[in-house]
Chains A and B, each alone.
Chain A
Amino acid sequence: MPHAKLPRKSTNIDMTAMCDVAFLLLSFFMLATKFKPDEPVVVVTPSSISQITLPDVDIMMITVDPKGRIFFSIDNKLKRKDLIEDINSEKKLGLTPDEINSFALGSSIGVPLNQLKSFLGAPPDQQKQLISAAPGIPADTNAFAPNNELAAWVNSARNTNNRLRICIKADGDASFPNVQKIIKTFEGEKIFKFNLITNLKAIPSGTAAYDDAHAGEKKS
Protein backbone atom coordinates (compact mmCIF):
# COMPACT_ATOMS: atom_id res chain seq x y z
CA MET A 1 0.00 0.00 0.00
CA PRO A 2 1.50 3.29 -0.97
CA HIS A 3 1.91 5.74 1.81
CA ALA A 4 0.18 9.03 1.01
CA LYS A 5 2.49 11.93 1.62
CA LEU A 6 0.94 14.81 3.46
CA PRO A 7 2.23 18.12 2.18
CA ARG A 8 3.77 20.10 4.94
CA LYS A 9 1.95 23.37 5.35
CA SER A 10 3.63 26.58 6.23
CA THR A 11 2.79 28.07 9.61
CA ASN A 12 2.88 31.59 8.20
CA ILE A 13 -0.54 33.06 7.74
CA ASP A 14 -1.28 36.06 5.65
CA MET A 15 -2.10 38.71 8.17
CA THR A 16 -3.25 41.30 5.67
CA ALA A 17 -6.92 40.37 5.85
CA MET A 18 -6.90 40.30 9.62
CA CYS A 19 -5.20 43.64 9.70
CA ASP A 20 -7.86 45.07 7.41
CA VAL A 21 -10.62 43.85 9.69
CA ALA A 22 -8.90 45.18 12.78
CA PHE A 23 -8.52 48.64 11.36
CA LEU A 24 -12.01 48.65 9.92
CA LEU A 25 -13.41 47.95 13.37
CA LEU A 26 -11.03 50.47 14.86
CA SER A 27 -12.24 53.21 12.56
CA PHE A 28 -15.85 52.31 13.36
CA PHE A 29 -15.31 52.59 17.08
CA MET A 30 -13.33 55.77 16.75
CA LEU A 31 -16.12 57.42 14.83
CA ALA A 32 -18.97 55.99 16.89
CA THR A 33 -17.42 56.72 20.23
CA LYS A 34 -18.60 59.57 22.33
CA PHE A 35 -16.50 60.03 25.37
CA LYS A 36 -18.23 60.03 28.68
CA PRO A 37 -18.86 63.62 29.66
CA ASP A 38 -16.95 64.95 32.61
CA GLU A 39 -18.94 64.24 35.69
CA PRO A 40 -18.40 66.56 38.60
CA VAL A 41 -19.05 63.89 41.19
CA VAL A 42 -19.77 60.19 41.23
CA VAL A 43 -23.50 59.68 41.24
CA VAL A 44 -25.24 56.32 41.39
CA THR A 45 -28.72 56.81 40.07
CA PRO A 46 -31.59 54.62 41.25
CA SER A 47 -33.20 52.22 38.78
CA SER A 48 -36.59 52.35 37.16
CA ILE A 49 -38.37 50.50 34.40
CA SER A 50 -38.57 53.62 32.25
CA GLN A 51 -37.13 53.04 28.78
CA ILE A 52 -37.12 56.57 27.44
CA THR A 53 -33.63 57.49 26.28
CA LEU A 54 -32.19 60.86 26.91
CA PRO A 55 -31.77 63.00 23.76
CA ASP A 56 -28.28 64.14 22.79
CA VAL A 57 -28.76 67.88 22.66
CA ASP A 58 -30.39 70.63 24.68
CA ILE A 59 -29.91 69.11 28.08
CA MET A 60 -29.87 70.96 31.34
CA MET A 61 -28.47 68.63 33.94
CA ILE A 62 -28.83 69.17 37.63
CA THR A 63 -26.67 66.74 39.52
CA VAL A 64 -27.12 66.00 43.20
CA ASP A 65 -24.45 64.02 45.01
CA PRO A 66 -25.08 61.86 48.12
CA LYS A 67 -24.22 64.78 50.38
CA GLY A 68 -26.86 66.91 48.70
CA ARG A 69 -24.54 69.28 46.84
CA ILE A 70 -26.12 70.63 43.69
CA PHE A 71 -24.24 70.96 40.41
CA PHE A 72 -25.51 72.60 37.28
CA SER A 73 -24.55 72.13 33.64
CA ILE A 74 -25.87 72.59 30.13
CA ASP A 75 -24.46 70.94 27.06
CA ASN A 76 -23.98 73.32 24.15
CA LYS A 77 -20.74 75.35 24.16
CA LEU A 78 -22.26 78.32 22.37
CA LYS A 79 -25.24 78.36 24.67
CA ARG A 80 -22.93 78.11 27.65
CA LYS A 81 -21.28 81.30 26.53
CA ASP A 82 -24.64 83.04 26.17
CA LEU A 83 -25.63 81.76 29.58
CA ILE A 84 -22.57 83.01 31.40
CA GLU A 85 -22.80 86.39 29.70
CA ASP A 86 -26.42 86.58 30.79
CA ILE A 87 -25.58 85.65 34.37
CA ASN A 88 -22.60 87.98 34.33
CA SER A 89 -24.58 91.03 33.32
CA GLU A 90 -27.54 90.18 35.52
CA LYS A 91 -25.61 89.46 38.69
CA LYS A 92 -22.79 91.92 37.94
CA LEU A 93 -20.03 89.42 38.55
CA GLY A 94 -17.46 91.33 36.52
CA LEU A 95 -16.06 88.30 34.71
CA THR A 96 -13.25 88.83 32.23
CA PRO A 97 -13.50 87.39 28.69
CA ASP A 98 -10.99 84.72 29.71
CA GLU A 99 -13.18 83.61 32.58
CA ILE A 100 -16.21 83.56 30.30
CA ASN A 101 -14.29 81.32 27.90
CA SER A 102 -13.26 79.11 30.78
CA PHE A 103 -16.93 78.60 31.61
CA ALA A 104 -17.86 77.88 28.00
CA LEU A 105 -15.24 75.14 27.77
CA GLY A 106 -15.74 73.77 31.26
CA SER A 107 -18.29 71.32 32.52
CA SER A 108 -20.34 71.59 35.68
CA ILE A 109 -20.67 74.45 38.07
CA GLY A 110 -21.01 73.75 41.76
CA VAL A 111 -20.01 76.95 43.47
CA PRO A 112 -22.06 79.89 44.70
CA LEU A 113 -22.03 82.96 42.48
CA ASN A 114 -19.67 84.87 44.75
CA GLN A 115 -17.02 82.18 44.29
CA LEU A 116 -17.61 81.84 40.57
CA LYS A 117 -14.97 84.39 39.54
CA SER A 118 -12.16 82.73 41.45
CA PHE A 119 -13.32 79.29 40.29
CA LEU A 120 -13.32 80.26 36.61
CA GLY A 121 -10.01 82.08 36.98
CA ALA A 122 -8.29 78.89 38.12
CA PRO A 123 -6.49 76.76 35.51
CA PRO A 124 -8.49 73.74 34.22
CA ASP A 125 -6.62 71.08 36.18
CA GLN A 126 -7.09 73.04 39.36
CA GLN A 127 -10.80 73.48 38.58
CA LYS A 128 -11.24 69.72 38.82
CA GLN A 129 -9.90 69.74 42.35
CA LEU A 130 -12.07 72.71 43.21
CA ILE A 131 -15.15 70.87 41.94
CA SER A 132 -14.63 67.96 44.30
CA ALA A 133 -14.41 70.40 47.20
CA ALA A 134 -17.18 72.69 45.92
CA PRO A 135 -20.04 73.49 48.28
CA GLY A 136 -22.69 73.15 45.57
CA ILE A 137 -25.09 75.74 44.22
CA PRO A 138 -27.29 77.20 46.94
CA ALA A 139 -30.95 76.35 46.50
CA ASP A 140 -34.08 76.84 48.49
CA THR A 141 -37.62 75.52 48.54
CA ASN A 142 -38.75 79.02 47.65
CA ALA A 143 -37.82 79.82 44.05
CA PHE A 144 -37.96 83.54 44.74
CA ALA A 145 -35.74 83.59 47.79
CA PRO A 146 -32.72 85.82 47.13
CA ASN A 147 -30.29 83.06 48.08
CA ASN A 148 -31.81 80.61 45.61
CA GLU A 149 -29.07 80.79 43.01
CA LEU A 150 -30.25 77.62 41.32
CA ALA A 151 -33.35 79.52 40.26
CA ALA A 152 -31.16 82.21 38.69
CA TRP A 153 -29.18 79.60 36.75
CA VAL A 154 -32.29 77.79 35.58
CA ASN A 155 -33.94 81.03 34.59
CA SER A 156 -30.96 82.29 32.59
CA ALA A 157 -30.45 78.93 30.92
CA ARG A 158 -34.05 78.90 29.80
CA ASN A 159 -33.70 82.43 28.48
CA THR A 160 -30.75 81.49 26.33
CA ASN A 161 -32.21 78.22 25.09
CA ASN A 162 -35.92 77.66 25.43
CA ARG A 163 -35.81 74.10 24.12
CA LEU A 164 -33.81 72.84 27.06
CA ARG A 165 -34.82 69.56 28.54
CA ILE A 166 -34.51 69.66 32.26
CA CYS A 167 -33.04 66.65 33.96
CA ILE A 168 -32.29 65.80 37.53
CA LYS A 169 -29.55 63.29 38.08
CA ALA A 170 -29.49 62.58 41.75
CA ASP A 171 -27.79 59.92 43.78
CA GLY A 172 -30.09 57.37 45.34
CA ASP A 173 -28.77 58.29 48.77
CA ALA A 174 -29.38 62.00 48.40
CA SER A 175 -31.92 62.98 51.01
CA PHE A 176 -35.37 63.96 49.83
CA PRO A 177 -35.31 67.57 51.16
CA ASN A 178 -32.34 68.33 48.91
CA VAL A 179 -34.18 67.02 45.88
CA GLN A 180 -37.33 68.78 47.01
CA LYS A 181 -35.49 72.11 46.90
CA ILE A 182 -34.88 71.53 43.21
CA ILE A 183 -38.42 70.41 42.50
CA LYS A 184 -39.82 73.42 44.33
CA THR A 185 -37.47 75.73 42.47
CA PHE A 186 -38.69 74.25 39.19
CA GLU A 187 -42.27 74.78 40.28
CA GLY A 188 -41.51 78.42 41.02
CA GLU A 189 -39.97 78.72 37.56
CA LYS A 190 -43.14 77.18 36.10
CA ILE A 191 -41.40 73.99 35.09
CA PHE A 192 -43.80 71.18 35.70
CA LYS A 193 -42.32 68.65 33.36
CA PHE A 194 -38.85 67.36 33.88
CA ASN A 195 -36.83 64.17 33.66
CA LEU A 196 -35.23 62.06 36.31
CA ILE A 197 -32.19 60.12 35.15
CA THR A 198 -32.40 56.49 36.17
CA ASN A 199 -30.82 53.18 35.36
CA LEU A 200 -32.79 50.54 33.60
CA LYS A 201 -34.18 47.59 35.47
CA ALA A 202 -36.34 44.73 34.30
CA ILE A 203 -40.09 45.02 34.60
CA PRO A 204 -41.31 42.68 37.35
CA SER A 205 -43.58 39.98 36.00
CA GLY A 206 -47.23 39.78 36.87
CA THR A 207 -47.76 43.54 36.93
CA ALA A 208 -49.73 45.88 34.71
CA ALA A 209 -46.62 47.25 33.01
CA TYR A 210 -45.36 43.73 32.36
CA ASP A 211 -48.63 42.76 30.73
CA ASP A 212 -48.48 45.91 28.62
CA ALA A 213 -44.95 45.24 27.46
CA HIS A 214 -45.73 41.64 26.56
CA ALA A 215 -49.16 42.21 25.05
CA GLY A 216 -47.75 42.24 21.52
CA GLU A 217 -45.85 38.99 21.97
CA LYS A 218 -48.84 36.98 23.05
CA LYS A 219 -50.88 37.93 20.01
CA SER A 220 -48.19 37.08 17.49
Chain B
Amino acid sequence: MAELDTSSSGGHKKGPGVKKSKKLSTRIDLTPMVDLGFLLITFFIYTTTMAKPKTMEINMPYNDKNLTIEEKNKVKKSAALTVLLSRNHRVYYYEGIGDDPEHAPDIQVTTFSSTKGIRDEIIAKKKKVDGLKKTGELGEKDETTILIKADTTSTYSDLVNILDEMNINDIKVYAIVDISDLEQGWIKATEDANPGKK
Protein backbone atom coordinates (compact mmCIF):
# COMPACT_ATOMS: atom_id res chain seq x y z
CA MET B 1 0.00 0.00 0.00
CA ALA B 2 2.95 2.28 0.05
CA GLU B 3 3.20 1.92 -3.60
CA LEU B 4 2.60 5.04 -5.59
CA ASP B 5 0.27 4.54 -8.43
CA THR B 6 1.63 6.57 -11.29
CA SER B 7 -0.45 5.04 -14.01
CA SER B 8 -3.82 6.47 -13.00
CA SER B 9 -4.60 9.91 -14.23
CA GLY B 10 -6.52 11.17 -11.31
CA GLY B 11 -3.56 11.00 -9.04
CA HIS B 12 -5.60 9.61 -6.16
CA LYS B 13 -4.63 6.29 -4.86
CA LYS B 14 -6.77 3.34 -5.47
CA GLY B 15 -7.55 1.10 -2.66
CA PRO B 16 -7.55 -2.61 -3.07
CA GLY B 17 -11.30 -2.66 -3.48
CA VAL B 18 -11.36 -0.02 -6.19
CA LYS B 19 -11.53 -1.41 -9.67
CA LYS B 20 -9.29 -0.12 -12.41
CA SER B 21 -10.94 2.42 -14.64
CA LYS B 22 -12.28 0.88 -17.83
CA LYS B 23 -10.47 1.54 -21.03
CA LEU B 24 -12.76 3.69 -23.17
CA SER B 25 -13.64 2.32 -26.56
CA THR B 26 -12.42 4.35 -29.51
CA ARG B 27 -15.62 3.59 -31.39
CA ILE B 28 -17.97 6.49 -31.70
CA ASP B 29 -21.63 6.18 -32.52
CA LEU B 30 -21.73 7.41 -36.10
CA THR B 31 -25.52 7.47 -36.41
CA PRO B 32 -25.94 11.25 -35.92
CA MET B 33 -23.21 11.89 -38.44
CA VAL B 34 -24.94 9.69 -41.00
CA ASP B 35 -28.17 11.53 -40.25
CA LEU B 36 -26.49 14.82 -40.92
CA GLY B 37 -24.91 13.50 -44.12
CA PHE B 38 -28.20 12.37 -45.54
CA LEU B 39 -29.92 15.57 -44.51
CA LEU B 40 -27.40 17.57 -46.50
CA ILE B 41 -27.71 15.19 -49.44
CA THR B 42 -31.45 15.74 -49.49
CA PHE B 43 -30.91 19.49 -49.47
CA PHE B 44 -28.51 19.36 -52.40
CA ILE B 45 -30.73 17.01 -54.38
CA TYR B 46 -33.62 19.42 -54.01
CA THR B 47 -31.69 22.54 -54.93
CA THR B 48 -29.78 21.06 -57.82
CA THR B 49 -30.99 21.75 -61.34
CA MET B 50 -30.52 18.47 -63.08
CA ALA B 51 -32.87 19.11 -65.96
CA LYS B 52 -31.51 21.87 -68.11
CA PRO B 53 -34.05 24.07 -69.81
CA LYS B 54 -34.95 23.01 -73.29
CA THR B 55 -34.97 25.45 -76.11
CA MET B 56 -36.57 25.73 -79.46
CA GLU B 57 -34.57 27.30 -82.23
CA ILE B 58 -36.38 29.49 -84.67
CA ASN B 59 -35.18 31.25 -87.75
CA MET B 60 -37.01 34.32 -88.83
CA PRO B 61 -37.17 35.16 -92.52
CA TYR B 62 -34.54 37.61 -93.59
CA ASN B 63 -36.39 40.88 -93.78
CA ASP B 64 -34.72 42.90 -96.47
CA LYS B 65 -36.28 46.19 -97.39
CA ASN B 66 -35.00 45.81 -100.95
CA LEU B 67 -37.15 42.78 -101.64
CA THR B 68 -40.16 43.59 -103.75
CA ILE B 69 -43.59 42.38 -102.87
CA GLU B 70 -43.58 39.93 -105.77
CA GLU B 71 -40.42 38.32 -104.50
CA LYS B 72 -41.87 37.99 -101.04
CA ASN B 73 -45.03 36.45 -102.37
CA LYS B 74 -43.30 33.66 -104.19
CA VAL B 75 -45.27 31.16 -102.15
CA LYS B 76 -47.43 29.00 -104.38
CA LYS B 77 -50.99 29.52 -103.32
CA SER B 78 -51.97 25.89 -103.64
CA ALA B 79 -49.14 24.84 -101.32
CA ALA B 80 -49.92 27.41 -98.67
CA LEU B 81 -52.01 27.25 -95.55
CA THR B 82 -52.52 30.37 -93.48
CA VAL B 83 -53.05 29.97 -89.78
CA LEU B 84 -54.42 32.84 -87.73
CA LEU B 85 -54.08 32.82 -83.96
CA SER B 86 -56.68 34.66 -81.97
CA ARG B 87 -58.27 35.06 -78.56
CA ASN B 88 -59.02 32.17 -76.22
CA HIS B 89 -56.38 30.03 -77.94
CA ARG B 90 -58.59 29.75 -80.99
CA VAL B 91 -57.04 28.98 -84.34
CA TYR B 92 -58.42 30.11 -87.67
CA TYR B 93 -57.07 28.69 -90.87
CA TYR B 94 -57.66 28.84 -94.57
CA GLU B 95 -56.09 27.56 -97.75
CA GLY B 96 -53.90 29.89 -99.74
CA ILE B 97 -52.38 33.17 -98.68
CA GLY B 98 -55.45 35.36 -98.61
CA ASP B 99 -54.25 37.98 -101.05
CA ASP B 100 -57.59 38.47 -102.76
CA PRO B 101 -59.67 41.01 -100.87
CA GLU B 102 -62.68 40.44 -103.13
CA HIS B 103 -63.12 36.80 -102.33
CA ALA B 104 -62.80 36.03 -98.66
CA PRO B 105 -61.40 32.54 -98.27
CA ASP B 106 -63.25 29.80 -96.50
CA ILE B 107 -62.14 30.41 -92.91
CA GLN B 108 -62.38 27.52 -90.50
CA VAL B 109 -62.03 27.58 -86.74
CA THR B 110 -60.29 24.97 -84.65
CA THR B 111 -58.16 24.61 -81.52
CA PHE B 112 -54.83 23.18 -80.46
CA SER B 113 -56.38 19.98 -79.15
CA SER B 114 -54.57 16.84 -80.22
CA THR B 115 -57.60 15.30 -81.88
CA LYS B 116 -59.52 17.17 -84.55
CA GLY B 117 -57.37 20.20 -83.90
CA ILE B 118 -55.05 22.16 -86.13
CA ARG B 119 -52.69 19.19 -86.31
CA ASP B 120 -55.16 17.14 -88.34
CA GLU B 121 -55.59 20.04 -90.73
CA ILE B 122 -51.85 20.37 -91.20
CA ILE B 123 -51.53 16.64 -91.87
CA ALA B 124 -54.41 16.83 -94.34
CA LYS B 125 -52.75 19.78 -96.06
CA LYS B 126 -49.49 17.91 -96.35
CA LYS B 127 -51.24 14.97 -97.97
CA LYS B 128 -53.00 17.31 -100.34
CA VAL B 129 -49.73 18.92 -101.40
CA ASP B 130 -48.18 15.51 -101.91
CA GLY B 131 -51.12 14.62 -104.14
CA LEU B 132 -50.69 17.81 -106.15
CA LYS B 133 -47.03 17.04 -106.56
CA LYS B 134 -47.86 13.67 -108.06
CA THR B 135 -50.28 15.12 -110.56
CA GLY B 136 -47.64 17.64 -111.55
CA GLU B 137 -49.58 20.70 -110.48
CA LEU B 138 -46.82 21.53 -108.07
CA GLY B 139 -43.12 21.13 -108.80
CA GLU B 140 -40.86 18.71 -106.96
CA LYS B 141 -39.29 21.52 -104.97
CA ASP B 142 -42.54 22.92 -103.65
CA GLU B 143 -43.15 22.29 -100.01
CA THR B 144 -46.17 22.73 -97.83
CA THR B 145 -45.89 26.29 -96.64
CA ILE B 146 -47.56 27.57 -93.53
CA LEU B 147 -47.98 31.22 -92.80
CA ILE B 148 -48.46 31.96 -89.13
CA LYS B 149 -50.21 35.17 -88.31
CA ALA B 150 -50.93 36.02 -84.72
CA ASP B 151 -53.32 38.79 -83.84
CA THR B 152 -53.07 41.08 -80.84
CA THR B 153 -55.34 38.97 -78.66
CA SER B 154 -53.28 35.81 -78.93
CA THR B 155 -50.71 34.78 -76.34
CA TYR B 156 -47.16 33.60 -76.48
CA SER B 157 -48.20 30.03 -75.72
CA ASP B 158 -50.26 30.04 -78.93
CA LEU B 159 -47.17 31.00 -80.87
CA VAL B 160 -45.06 28.30 -79.26
CA ASN B 161 -47.83 25.76 -79.78
CA ILE B 162 -48.13 26.46 -83.47
CA LEU B 163 -44.34 26.44 -83.92
CA ASP B 164 -44.33 23.15 -82.09
CA GLU B 165 -46.91 21.80 -84.51
CA MET B 166 -44.50 22.69 -87.31
CA ASN B 167 -41.87 20.51 -85.67
CA ILE B 168 -44.34 17.77 -84.85
CA ASN B 169 -45.63 17.57 -88.39
CA ASP B 170 -42.26 18.11 -90.02
CA ILE B 171 -43.24 21.26 -91.91
CA LYS B 172 -40.03 22.65 -93.30
CA VAL B 173 -41.28 25.92 -94.66
CA TYR B 174 -43.13 28.22 -92.34
CA ALA B 175 -43.00 31.87 -91.47
CA ILE B 176 -44.32 34.20 -88.83
CA VAL B 177 -45.93 37.05 -90.71
CA ASP B 178 -47.75 40.18 -89.59
CA ILE B 179 -51.49 39.91 -89.71
CA SER B 180 -53.27 42.13 -92.21
CA ASP B 181 -56.29 44.28 -91.47
CA LEU B 182 -58.18 42.20 -93.96
CA GLU B 183 -57.58 39.04 -91.97
CA GLN B 184 -58.46 40.72 -88.71
CA GLY B 185 -61.73 41.67 -90.34
CA TRP B 186 -62.31 38.05 -91.34
CA ILE B 187 -61.68 36.86 -87.81
CA LYS B 188 -64.11 39.42 -86.51
CA ALA B 189 -66.69 38.42 -89.09
CA THR B 190 -66.35 34.78 -88.08
CA GLU B 191 -66.67 35.69 -84.42
CA ASP B 192 -69.73 37.80 -85.12
CA ALA B 193 -71.29 34.99 -87.10
CA ASN B 194 -70.93 32.71 -84.08
CA PRO B 195 -72.19 34.78 -81.15
CA GLY B 196 -72.00 33.36 -77.68
CA LYS B 197 -68.72 31.63 -78.37
CA LYS B 198 -66.45 34.53 -77.65
Complex CA–CA separation, A208 to B144 (angstroms): 14
**A171 contacts across to B, CB distance below 8 A:** 156
User: Quick check: A187 and B63 within 8 Å, CB to CB?
Assistant: yes
**B169 contacts across to A, CB distance below 8 A:** 207-209
Within 8 A of B (CB), among A18-45: 18-19, 22-23, 25-26, 29-30, 32-36, 45
User: Quick check: B156 and A54 within 8 Å, CB to CB?
Assistant: no
**Given known contacts A18-B30, A176-B155, A212 and B55 CB-to-CB distance under 8 angstroms:** no
B68 at the interface (CB under 8 A from A): no
A170 at the interface (CB under 8 A from B): yes
Main secondary structure of the interface of A (DSSP, over half): mixed
User: Quick check: B41 and A22 within 8 Å, CB to CB?
Assistant: yes
**B31 contacts across to A, CB distance below 8 A:** 15
Q: Which range contains the number of A residues in contact with the other chain?
A: 35 or more
A109 at the interface (CB under 8 A from B): no
Complex CA–CA separation, A36 to B44 (angstroms): 12
Binds B, one of A124-132, A144-152, A193-201: A193-201
**A194 contacts across to B, CB distance below 8 A:** 57-58, 60
> Measured between C-beta atoms, what is the minimum distance from B66 to chain A in Å?
14
A186 at the interface (CB under 8 A from B): yes
A6 at the interface (CB under 8 A from B): no
Contact of A186 among B60, B156, B157 (CB under 8 A): B60
Contact of B55 among A46, A47, A50, A192 (CB under 8 A): A50
In the complex, the number of residue pairs spanning A and B with C-beta atoms less than 8 Å apart equals 168
A138 at the interface (CB under 8 A from B): no
**A208 contacts across to B, CB distance below 8 A:** 168-170
User: Quick check: A48 and B54 within 8 Å, CB to CB?
Assistant: yes
User: Quick check: A196 and B55 within 8 Å, CB to CB?
Assistant: yes
Complex CA–CA separation, A198 to B162 (angstroms): 13
> Measured between C-beta atoms, what is the minimum distance from A169 to chain B in Å?
8
User: Quick check: A172 and B168 within 8 Å, CB to CB?
Assistant: no
A interface vs B, CB < 8 Å? Answer: 15-16, 18-19, 22-23, 25-26, 29-30, 32-36, 45-54, 64, 167, 169-180, 183, 186-187, 192-200, 203-204, 207-210, 212
Given contacts A175-B154, A176-B159, A196-B55, list 5 more A-B pairs with CB under 8 A. Answer: A47-B164, A54-B54, A178-B156, A198-B53, A210-B168
